[in-house]
Structure 1
Amino acid sequence: MSLTNTKMMSSEEIYRIGIDVGGTNTDAALLDSKLHTIHTVKVHTTRDVNEGIVESIRRLIEESGVNPAQVRYAMLGTTHCTNAIVERKHLGKVGLIRIGAPATTSVPPLADWDETLKAAVGQHAYIVHGGYEYDGRTIVALNEAEIIGCLEVMKGEVSAVAICGVFSPVNTSQEKRIEELAKQVLGEDMPITLSHEIGSIGLLERENAALLNGALLNVIAGVVKGFEEALHGFGIDAGVYICQNDGTLMRSEYALRYPILTIACGPTNSIRGAAHLSGLNNALVVDIGGTTTDIGVLSQGFPRQSSAAVEIGGVRTNFRMPDILSIGIGGGTIVRVDAAEDRVTVGPDSVGYELLKRGRIFGGDTLTATDVAVKLGRYTWEGAKTEELDEAICQRADAIMTQDIEDAIDRMKTSAEPVDVILVGGGSILVRDKLEGVAQIVRPAHYDAANAIGAALGEVSGETERIYSLDEMTYDQAMEDAKRNAIEQAVLAGAVRETVQIVLSEDIPIAYLPGNALLVKVKAAGRL
């Protein structure tokens, strides 16, 4: 990318770096204290993703001319955790204690996991007596001798423990008690994931999320260490933040406890970056990379969250995730021609990071979506060899891609009315200037680095979780008090008060407590 801000760099200026690791490219952006984009770079993601991170930081510093000592914040959005689950690599062994006998014994833990993932995470999964009814009343009291027996068997066999109880989001007491026992038996340093801190009510999906979180602890530790070492290697002493999938940041120490929250942060970063670059707060964001097109909904400046269970690597989970629809169209998507049947097909497979080697316009032998876009004049690529490309075939491939993207946009709309669409990602050169069902298409400046800019924008969050008695105050008063507390927590974490807004709010009536009790969870986020 070219340097986009040639003003003299003030010695007082404070900068931030945002990096987003994708399957094809690693994007990096440098922003100033007013969140203006100073410079962006795009490098190919390599098999060892840390190499791409180091190279992107090197180019960002060299090409922008910024003093590394002035970079005070560094944010990373990464696919490390997603890749580890999908590829079944680098996962830690996790011991599971489900608090649910005799009520839940008919469905064993890990029932819907395939054998490769079970083998990677381990076989130490136990169901012990306990659990709550939906209203928080105890089904069965804990049998601590039984629990200690299970923990003794795990000694030396697991690197983390996950604890999941029936209806524990309504009453957390049993999970917290088993955490105390686990620390006593396995040592204070044993990492423990409590399911109520990650997932919502559904038992099996919440259990899966807690298990995966425990399995990813080694992965995220390597990510944070590698990122910090890369920064220090260039003389950058910055606060390190990892991107979450709700559009906010978490300090690296928090990420070391909850790596599962980094899953799907890439599309979220693109949505946040698109909002910042376009100035729109409500729109559909179409992010086209080298491999996929991800479509998300921008609502009040933040990604719309999914209410459905989400599959990660074939495992159903129910922790918060952005509502994203992905289709197999990207800059590297392969276009095939069947001359015998006079048929053209597009994707879903892609040449990925090998585009510059295998694409036809670069001298390769594979027709890709990028070849089609350049042939049809949507983008000018210096030195591109388009003479031998058949324009009629490119037109047919373009019609297929356009139809697929229009259909995907329709599926994400909440009404039949035309919507605004913000196009971001390097692959957005594939899209025509007009689409059916779209009011306007906005291609903002720096559209191809929106994901890295979204990572750099990142906001700091604060949360509150309290039980209120509705005999003593109204529902509105309870919600207002919880929101005020969450805002204060965000400010304490380093957010600017004027920028803080509520990004998550939920309440659960708790019938087992007197006084018409209500459990309220609220999350607020604001700029650093």
Structure 2
Amino acid sequence: MKADAAAGGAQAGDERDALFLGIDTGGTYTDAVLWSQAKGVVAKAKALTTRHDLAEGIANAADRVIATAEIDSGIIRLVSMSTTLATNALVEGQGGRIALIMIGFAEADLDKSGLRQALGSDPVVFIAGGHDVHGQARAIDIKALKAVLPDLAKTVSGFAVCAYFAVRNPAHELAVRDIIREKAGLPVTCSHELSAKLNGPRRALTTVLNARLIAMIDRLITATEGFLDKRGIHAPLMVVRGDGALVSAAFARTRPIETILSGPAASLVGARHLTGLDNALVSDIGGTTTDVAVLDRGRPRLDPEGATVGGFRTMVEAVAMRTFGLGGDSEIALNDQALIPKLKLGPRRLVPLSLLAKNHGPDVIGHLERQMKAPQPGRLDGRFALRTGVPAALAAGLTASEAELHDRISQEPQPLDRLLSSTSQTATLNRLVARGLVHISGFTPSDACHVLGLQQNWDADAARLGAALFIRRKDSIGRPLAETPEALARQVHDALIRRSSEVILETAFAENGLDGPHTVASPLIERALSGKNGIAGVRIAVDRPIIGLGASAPIYYPAVGEMLGVEAMVPEDSDVANAIGAVVGQVRVSLTAEVNQPVEGRFRVSAGETIRDFDDEDTALAFAAATLREQAAARAAQAGTDEAEITVSHDIRAATVEDKRVFVEATLTATASGRPRIAH
């Protein structure tokens, strides 16, 4: 049922009937819905996501939904989209090669907050500069930056800039940004633009990830805008942020890190809208990831410490969502170190063999049949490589071996047993996959569902051949992994149900303050999930229903509910919940200002790029509040609303010394929210 009206939705009169187009671009499918406040879902459609040309998948889904509704596309008055592309990129370790400029930091800071791990082999440049806690400047070394810029500009797709205490004074970040733009002409992300919190290394980490994602989100938005223009849809384009709020496309272009968990956040908004449930565990399974979160008293819980995706704790405020590398397209590997080999799912996404054959014709089947005829199984059987189709500029900075292999891979799938000739080349291929330049195809849970007849949308023959090749492998004592392709497919299907139950429990235990993964791995929980009880039996249950979302949710979640002893709802339109969530939200932005005393009797206001000193506390606080209101109004307009309501909260910290109140510091937060502007 459609339980909610859109928050901040269209008001009386014809605006209640205004049609909104919601789009969700996932790793495998692009979904589209037409929605109005008066009628709810008017029509829905799906198309395959086309990573080589995102416009194609978007156009296919949107054209289908417009044709289904039999409307003139020109009457659409708002377009809003959610996407899992940023989330998937971080989970899979992908993104453009960037350079990090650290101002006023030491190299030891790279070992904090996972910054060194996030950087990988990307270059980092340390220059003198930065500020102290009160915003007082240190000397900056611009010459050192100018010396390295010409070479860096040839090998990276963007820059991340982080200065010491930039949240108190961003002057050095702004100076470096301007130099990079002038000399290199590449995108630049400054840390103070993304967070007002201290902890420089984690702010640098967030900035690095943002810089990596800019090209990817820019391609998505450009593709969408191109489609809308060709179809005569002259309506504002919005993007869902990770906290479920909407922002304009222009806003999202410069701050793509805020779209991590965009798809999951939209799914939560959509789940609440579709079911009317106030309290639930929401689990959204896609091709690459499963996202699990808690609905509590009608609202998604937000993570006060910042979103964690791909193992990195960012400073991005987002839903308290746990993202697992588990989906219908997860890589299936064999853990054959154990006495009884176990199937391992994910975290890497593969292109399912059934989808590969559907898109690329009989050559895929031909290679699979050739490998089946070989007298001995090969370690690369059932695997293919093909380019993702991203712009050539994103291949900058490849090593000689990477460039050579990249040149031999084309847009058409090539079997790995003929492409690779050594183990070292496998490692090289994996690096190209991590850069987002190459896809690997192999047997996945989606293929298993085709073997079992649970899915029929792609090529079942390729799926069955993939399963047949997989079971030719033997375990450590020479036993086959399964007797038939169907038996393997059932093992994979059951493994995904089991793992889906585990990730839901991990989330529930973590919400209770426990170590989720460690608790789920305990023998008692293992026994409860397997149902293998002895004299003493163990049962497990959660306190609220599960809402299963995603195109494949009906295949798995009824069994997940049975395993966890709770109702599992798969609502109507759950397959497009993200796209629905994209059009029923509202714009919301927050900004903060700090007031402190660099010396006694002087009150310094730091509000973004505005730094101002005052002689008394009340005047400083009043100026900070007024400045924040102006900045929040401007930011809300950039984010896509003309009717923002603004609230300002004060957190004033003071001490009592010898019965006298002594001001320490204050944090002011302005929140602006309103419905998105629509075409008239």
If the TM-score is normalised by the length of the shorter chain, which range does it land in? 0.7 to 0.9
Say which structure is richer in helix.
2
Shift of 1:137: 6.0
Matched, 1:422 2:547: yes
Matched, 1:519 2:523: no
Distance in 1 between residues matched to 2:654 and 2:117, nearest whole Å: 33
**Aligned equivalent of 1:410, options 497, 508, 520:** 508
Matched, 1:198 2:194: yes
Shift of 1:342: 8.1
**Aligned equivalent of 1:451, options 562, 578, 584:** 578
Correspondence for 2:60: 55
Shift of 1:409: 4.6
Give 1:424's aligned amino acid.
L
Correspondence for 1:6: none
Correspondence for 2:558: 432
Distance in 2 between residues matched to 1:401 and 1:323, nearest whole Å: 20
1:303–1:35 distance in 2 versus 1, CA, 3 Å: farther
Shift of 1:256: 2.2
Distance in 2 between residues matched to 1:506 and 1:303, nearest whole Å: 24
Correspondence for 2:142: 147
Q: Is the 8 A contact 2:268 2:282 kept in 1?
A: yes
Distance in 2 between residues matched to 1:26 and 1:414, nearest whole Å: 35
Shift of 1:312: 5.7
| Unpaired segments ≥5 residues, structure 1 | 1-9
Distance in 2 between residues matched to 1:90 and 1:399, nearest whole Å: 30
Residues 225-263 of structure 1 show CA distances to partners (whole Å, capped at 9, x for unaligned) of 211111122222221122221211221221222122222
Residues 150-175 of structure 1 show CA distances to partners (whole Å, capped at 9, x for unaligned) of 24642584365433122333444544
Matched, 1:125 2:223: no
Secondary structure of residue in 1 paired with 2:282: strand
Distance in 1 between residues matched to 2:322 and 2:46, nearest whole Å: 24
Secondary structure of residue in 1 paired with 2:558: coil
Matches within 5 A, 1:300-449: 301-308=298-305, 317-332=314-329, 345=343, 347-348=345-346, 352-355=351-354, 368=445, 389=486, 397=495, 400-401=498-499, 403-414=501-512, 418-429=543-554, 430-432=556-558, 434-435=561-562, 440-449=567-576
Distance in 1 between residues matched to 2:190 and 2:16, nearest whole Å: 44
Give 2:46's aligned amino acid.
K
Shift of 1:65: 0.9
Give 2:669's aligned amino acid.
K
Secondary structure of residue in 2 paired with 1:231: helix
Give 1:37's aligned amino acid.
V
Shift of 1:393: 5.9
Range with bigger deviation, 286-295 or 323-332: 323-332
1:72–1:194 distance in 2 versus 1, CA, 3 Å: same
Q: Is the 8 A contact 1:163 1:192 kept in 2?
A: yes
Secondary structure of residue in 1 paired with 2:545: strand
Distance in 2 between residues matched to 1:337 and 1:220, nearest whole Å: 34
Secondary structure of residue in 2 paired with 1:46: coil
Q: Is the 8 A contact 1:311 1:317 kept in 2?
A: yes
Distance in 2 between residues matched to 1:108 and 1:280, nearest whole Å: 44
Q: Is the 8 A contact 2:445 2:492 kept in 1?
A: no
Distance in 1 between residues matched to 2:567 and 2:630, nearest whole Å: 37
Q: Is the 8 A contact 1:281 1:301 kept in 2?
A: yes
Shift of 1:286: 0.7
Distance in 2 between residues matched to 1:280 and 1:438, nearest whole Å: 18
**Equivalent pairs, count:** 496
Distance in 2 between residues matched to 1:217 and 1:392, nearest whole Å: 40
Secondary structure of residue in 2 paired with 1:267: helix
Distance in 2 between residues matched to 1:382 and 1:174, nearest whole Å: 54
1:405–1:253 distance in 2 versus 1, CA, 3 Å: closer
Matches within 5 A, 1:83-162: 91=96, 93-94=98-99, 96-100=100-104, 104-107=106-109, 112-113=116-117, 118-119=121-122, 123=123, 125-133=125-133, 136=134, 138=136, 141-143=138-140, 146-151=141-146, 153-154=148-149, 157-158=152-153, 160-162=158-160
Matched, 1:298 2:424: no
Residues 442-499 of structure 1 show CA distances to partners (whole Å, capped at 9, x for unaligned) of 33220111111112224212334334689549x9xx999979995897589665969x
**Aligned equivalent of 2:162, options 152, 155, 164:** 164
Q: Is the 8 A contact 1:45 1:353 kept in 2?
A: no
Range with bigger deviation, 47-56 or 80-89: 80-89
Distance in 2 between residues matched to 1:388 and 1:118, nearest whole Å: 41
Larger Rg computed on CA atoms:
2
Secondary structure of residue in 2 paired with 1:270: helix
Correspondence for 1:3: none
Matched, 1:224 2:221: yes
Q: Is the 8 A contact 2:74 2:231 kept in 1?
A: no
Distance in 1 between residues matched to 2:287 and 2:566, nearest whole Å: 26
Secondary structure of residue in 2 paired with 1:450: helix
Q: Is the 8 A contact 2:287 2:330 kept in 1?
A: yes
1:56–1:435 distance in 2 versus 1, CA, 3 Å: same
Distance in 1 between residues matched to 2:500 and 2:159, nearest whole Å: 47
Secondary structure of residue in 2 paired with 1:118: coil
Range with bigger deviation, 389-398 or 34-43: 389-398
Correspondence for 1:460: 587
Correspondence for 2:440: none
Give 2:512's aligned amino acid.
T
Correspondence for 1:250: 247
Distance in 2 between residues matched to 1:228 and 1:70, nearest whole Å: 16
Q: Is the 8 A contact 1:75 1:458 kept in 2?
A: no
Give 1:462's aligned amino acid.
V
Secondary structure of residue in 2 paired with 1:520: strand
Shift of 1:195: 0.6
Correspondence for 2:473: none
Give 1:197's aligned amino acid.
E
Shift of 1:90: 7.0
1:382–1:257 distance in 2 versus 1, CA, 3 Å: closer
Residues 247-294 of structure 1 show CA distances to partners (whole Å, capped at 9, x for unaligned) of 112212212221222223121121121111112344221112234321
Give 2:160's aligned amino acid.
A
Shift of 1:196: 1.9
Distance in 2 between residues matched to 1:190 and 1:397, nearest whole Å: 45
Distance in 2 between residues matched to 1:335 and 1:111, nearest whole Å: 30
Q: Is the 8 A contact 1:370 1:427 kept in 2?
A: no
Distance in 2 between residues matched to 1:492 and 1:357, nearest whole Å: 41
Shift of 1:76: 2.4
Secondary structure of residue in 1 paired with 2:254: coil
Distance in 1 between residues matched to 2:172 and 2:333, nearest whole Å: 57
Give 1:295's aligned amino acid.
V
Give 1:169's aligned amino acid.
V
Q: Is the 8 A contact 1:85 1:313 kept in 2?
A: yes
Q: Is the 8 A contact 1:419 1:439 kept in 2?
A: yes
State TM-score, norm by structure 2: 0.60
Q: Is the 8 A contact 2:328 2:444 kept in 1?
A: no
Distance in 2 between residues matched to 1:333 and 1:44, nearest whole Å: 17
Give 2:209's aligned amino acid.
L
Q: Is the 8 A contact 1:164 1:175 kept in 2?
A: yes
Give 1:163's aligned amino acid.
V
Correspondence for 2:417: none
Correspondence for 1:71: 76
Shift of 1:397: 4.8
Give 1:527's aligned amino acid.
R
Q: Is the 8 A contact 1:461 1:526 kept in 2?
A: yes
1:220–1:398 distance in 2 versus 1, CA, 3 Å: closer
1:181–1:488 distance in 2 versus 1, CA, 3 Å: closer
Distance in 2 between residues matched to 1:132 and 1:67, nearest whole Å: 58
The two structures, once aligned, show a CA RMSD in angstroms of 5.0
Q: Is the 8 A contact 1:289 1:426 kept in 2?
A: yes
